[in-house]
Amino acid sequence: MGKKKNKSSERIGHLPPQHDFFLNPHLDARFTRCPKCDGKTKLRKKPLLIVIKPAQVISLNKTCRYCADCDLLIAHKDELDELLESACRQLYPQLVGNEYCVFGTLDRKSWREGHHSSSLEDLLDTLHDFKRYLEFEPPRYVWVFEGDD
């Protein structure tokens, strides 16, 4: 039988986890409606903590889709790719195009005060891990033309 993992050992942030997270790779789906409950999503600007491989930490204040009923945060990968490419060109040109992972959100007050640019420990003190990472497929529409036989 497998070992049960301790939930706290899986977290890296020191603040309680927030939000389920979906990094939307679909260019043709903007998820203006929640893929879980079909309610309307709102726009929310969140400071995201991102690690670019091999090991560069960056934070970006990114506008995301959010469903309050499901506590689901959705970031569009194509938009995030553009922001990261622009930031990397200025700060870390050797990392342009590298893979990355979004780890969670930073405490907004601490992010505004600049604590995200301090030591790694200070950064982790302000980090909310995501509760879960989710994946969704957009509904596919089938066109039906009347009168075709």
Beta-bridge mates of residue 72: 20, 67
Give the integer Cα–Cα distance in Å for 134 and 146.
Answer: 38
- Percent residues over pLDDT 90 in the chain: 70
> What is the reported pLDDT for 102?
97
> What is the reported pLDDT for 118?
64
Residue 120 pLDDT exceeds 70: yes
Residue 56 pLDDT exceeds 60: yes
20-24 vs 132-133, strand pairing mode: parallel
pTM: 0.84
Q: What is the mean pLDDT of residues 25-52?
A: 95
Give the integer Cα–Cα distance in Å for 34 and 62.
Answer: 18
132-to-7, 17, 20, 73, 107 alpha-carbon distances in Å:
12, 9, 5, 10, 18
Tokens coding 12: 């890296």
Residue 42 pLDDT exceeds 70: yes
Residue 143 pLDDT exceeds 70: no
User: In sequence order, what are the residues at sequence separation of 6 or more whose Cβ sits closer than 8 angstroms to the Cβ of residue 36?
Assistant: 67, 70, 72
Beta-bridge mates of residue 61: 47
